[in-house]
Amino acid sequence: RKPEANWGSSAQAQVFVNALKGVQSLTDTAEHVKNYRPKVLVLTGNPAHRPPLVDFANLITKKLSLLICGHVLTEPGSVHLSTLKESTQAWLTDRKIKGFYTVTESNNFEEGAKSCLTLAGLGKLAPNMLLMGFKGDWTQDLGVAKEYFSVLQDAFDLAFSVGILRVRSGLDFSGHIQAEETETNEFVDEDRRGSFVGGLGEPVEGEDGKATGGEDVKSSGSSEGSERKGSEPSDESGDLVPEVPKFKFERQRTRTRTISRSVYHDSQGNPVSKDIVSDMTQFQSAKRSGNIDVWWLYDDGGLTLLLPYILTTRQQFSECKLRVFTLANRKDELDRETRNMAALLAKFRIEFSSVVVIPDVTKRASDASRARLDTLLAKLPQDTIPEEELLANKEKTNRHLRLSELLQAHSKDSEIIFMTLPMPRKGHVSAALYMAWLDIMTENLPPTLLIRGNQTSVLTFYS
C-alpha cells in the first residue's frame, strides 16, 4: 500500500507564480472607470457570528470582485491567531463564499479597524469599500459608538466608500449560536445503481441471484454432458456448434447527490428555532420578486446606483424591479426632473421600473416623528448632545425625520432599500446625534443599506 503523503506538485507551485504575476500586472495597470469593481472590506468580527452580513457582502462581490472579512480582537493574546485564521477560512470555504479573512489585535476597535483599512490587500488588489453592520445598541455604550463614528470618518479620510447595513432582526447571532455543524446526506440515484452488465447489455445473474463475473458462460455439452478440453463444442451429430459469445462484465458507478445544510445549536445544545435560522440565512438562495428601492439623495459618483444594479444580476434578486427615488430642487419642475433622471439612467444602461421625484423633503416633520426622536434621545445620559448642537443641526435633523416618513410611506414593503449615507462631518455633528439620525431613518424597514461613494465616478455613459 502506498503511503498517504503529499509530495507537492509543480502545478501547485505554478498557481502561486501565476497569482503573483497577476497581482503585479494589475498593480502596474492604470485604473479606468469602466473596470471599477467594489472591493469590499467587511468588518464582521468572527464571520460565523454575523452570517447575514457576510452573505450580503458576498452577493456584491461573488464572481466579480474582492471580499475580505476583517476581525478586530480587543483582547490581545486571548486566542491562537493561526488556528483562528485556518478555521475561519475553512468556514468561508464550506459556505461557498469566495473571500478572505484577516484578523488584527488592538486595544480598541477604532485602532484595529484603521489597521485593517490601511493594511488589508496587496497592491491594487486591495479594498476600496468598507461595509459594516448598523450598531443597534449604540445608546447603551456611547464610548463604543464614538469609536464606530470615528471609523466611518477614518474610512472617508482614506478615500474608501462606506456602507452600513441594517436588518430588522439584527446581524449579530453570537448569542444564539453555540455550535454549527454541517449535516451531509447522500441520495442514491436508483436509475444508476451499480450492477454487472453483460456484453449483450443485460445484467447476468447466477443461480443465487447475484451477478456472476470473471468466468465465461459455458455451452451445454454433448448428450453425456461432458466436453473434451481443447476441442470445439459439438452437437450429437458431430457438427460444430457456434461458440456462445463471451460476456464482458463491468460495474457501473453508483451516482449519488450530496446535499449539505448547516445545523445550528444554542448553548444548551438544542437546535436553533426556525425563525432565527431564517433571519440568519435571509441573503442566501430564497428567490425574491418585489422591489429594490434606490434613494439617490446626493451624487457620490454613482455607487448608490451601481450596487443595486449588481444585486439584480444575482439569482436571488433577478426578478426584482428597480425603483429610483430622488429629490426635487423645485416643486414646479417635477416632470422635467423625472424625465432628466430617466434619461440619465438610460445612459447608464440601468433598467428601472419607475422614477419618483420627491418634492417636499424640506417640509416640517410631523409631531409623531419628532416624538420618536425625543424618545430615542431620552435614552442617552443628560447633556450628551448639547442644545447648541441641536439648534445648529435643526434643519438637517428635520430633513432626516422627513426622509424617515417618506421611506415608511414608499418603501416599507420593498425587498431591500439602498439610500445615500449622510456624511459624518468632523466638528459639525457628534457621534450621538449622527447615530440618532441613522437610527430614526432606518427603523422598522426592510433590509437597508446606507451607502456613500468617495466621489470617484463608478459609472460611465460610454459603451
Give residue-wise pLDDT tens across range 277-309. 888 888 887 788 889 999 988 877 788 888 999
pLDDT of 277 reads 83
Between CA 219 and CA 243 the distance in angstroms is: 8
pLDDT of 307 reads 92
pLDDT of 254 reads 52
Q: Are strands 161-166 and 129-133 parallel, antiparallel or unpaired?
A: parallel
Nearest to 451 by CA among 427, 417, 425, 426: 417
Between CA 272 and CA 265 the distance in angstroms is: 5
Signed CA dihedral, 218, 220, 226, 232: sign only: negative
For residue 351 the three cell numbers come to 433598467
**Coarse DSSP helix, strand, coil percentages of the chain, rounded to the nearest 5 percent:** 35, 20, 45
Query: 354: helix, coil or strand?
Result: strand
Give the other-Cβ count within 10 Å of 373's Cβ. Answer: 19
Specify the pTM.
0.78
pLDDT of 32 reads 84
DSSP code string of 64-125: TS-EEEEEEESSTTSS-HHHHHHHHHHHHHHTT---EEEEEE-SSHHHHHHHHHHHSSBTTB
pLDDT of 262 reads 55
Supply the DSSP symbol for 49.
G
Give pLDDT < 70 ranges for the chain: 1-2, 177-270, 329-330, 332, 461-463
pLDDT of 258 reads 42
Q: Look at the block and give the residue holding cell 501547485.
A: 12
Distances (CA, A) of 283 to 50, 62, 351, 414: 12, 13, 22, 15
Between CA 133 and CA 49 the distance in angstroms is: 12
Question: What are the backbone dihedrals phi and psi of residue 229, each rounded to the nearest 5 degrees, phi first?
Answer: -70, 140
